[in-house]
Amino acid sequence: MAQGAATLPREATSPRTMRKPRRKVGALLRRYGLHLIAIMIGIVLMLPFYWAVISSLKLGTEVREIPLLWWPRVAQWSNYADIWNVRFFPLWVWNSIFLTVVATTGTVVSSSLAGFAFARFQFPGKNLLFTLTLATLLLPAYVLLIPNFMLFWKLGWLNTYLPLTVPFWFGQAFFIFLFRQFFMTIPIELDEAARIDGASYPRIFWSIVLPLSAPAFATAAIIEGINQWNSFLRPLIVLNQPETYPLSVGLRYFVVNPGDNLPKDHLLMAAAVFMTIPVIVIFFVGQRAFVRGVVMSGIKG
């Protein structure tokens, strides 16, 4: 709109004023066409969610009814209560929350410390260490997973939560990079002023850099929180007691172990939707921080 208004004077002075109306119609058509494309993409991308939510609200007898029901006859909200009775569902939810909180806190704390060191200090080996840090971003997970699994086995950590929490208290390259990028945007003069006032480096980190870095911490916490909530392979190989599973691994039991022979697809869909909702809520709460974080890590990479 603003663009159209800005070009108007030039058009008015141009001799070819005849073309103006046609061009406007063309622009309008193009605009509506683009909206149409955007809406269609939106519908296609939303289709799986639609089908999941609709199925989760059907009766157990309705999910496999032919012809298919595009809408449940009566929305069965009780399905969302019933999933809590399937196997260890309440435990799985609790385990997921616990693991997500502990591992995310660890990642954020340890990575922000390292990011601060890379952003603020000159020390021997800095370039080498930073290059190494970035190089770990390109490592395939399996190269680490096998020896780490053996380490956990040697330590007697299998079937405990230690492998799913402790390693995350030792930093992750991606977040170290993210924090470094953010800390470097904070004027170093603030540090220097605090130094003159006699503040120690931990003090500077705690009382100057930290309060100014809320967006970076929010970004890291959201991204890592979502990663942890979705984490599948690690708990899958480390845990083998169903009651200790996080939700991501437990979800399989809605299919693998139906108990009776009745179709449980409505409950599986309810559980899948249930697992997705917290992620979407957290994303909405921190959307701006999240997008900024993705962009920051991508553009300057």
With respect to other proteins, which residue has the nearer C-beta, 192 or 243? Answer: 192
Q: How far is the CB of 150 from other proteins (least distance, A)?
A: 6
With respect to other proteins, which residue has the nearer C-beta, 18 or 44? Answer: 44
Q: What are phi and psi of 73, to 5 degrees?
A: -60, -50
Q: How far is the CB of 286 from other proteins (least distance, A)?
A: 12
Residue closest to 20 by CA, chosen among 3, 4, 2:
4
Q: Alpha helices of the chain — where are they, by DSSP H?
A: 2-13, 20-56, 79-82, 89-120, 126-135, 141-154, 162-165, 173-183, 188-196, 201-204, 210-212, 214-230, 233-238, 247-250, 253-256, 265-285, 287-299
d(CA 102, CA 225): 10
Q: How far is the CB of 237 from other proteins (least distance, A)?
A: 5
With respect to other proteins, which residue has the nearer C-beta, 49 or 77? Answer: 49
Yes or no: say if 51 and 272 are a contact pair by the CB < 8 Å rule: no
d(CA 120, CA 118): 6
Q: How far is the CB of 222 from other proteins (least distance, A)?
A: 11
With respect to other proteins, which residue has the nearer C-beta, 77 or 232? Answer: 232
- In 3-state terms, what secondary structure has residue 41? helix
Q: How far is the CB of 17 from other proteins (least distance, A)?
A: 19
With respect to other proteins, which residue has the nearer C-beta, 21 or 123? Answer: 123
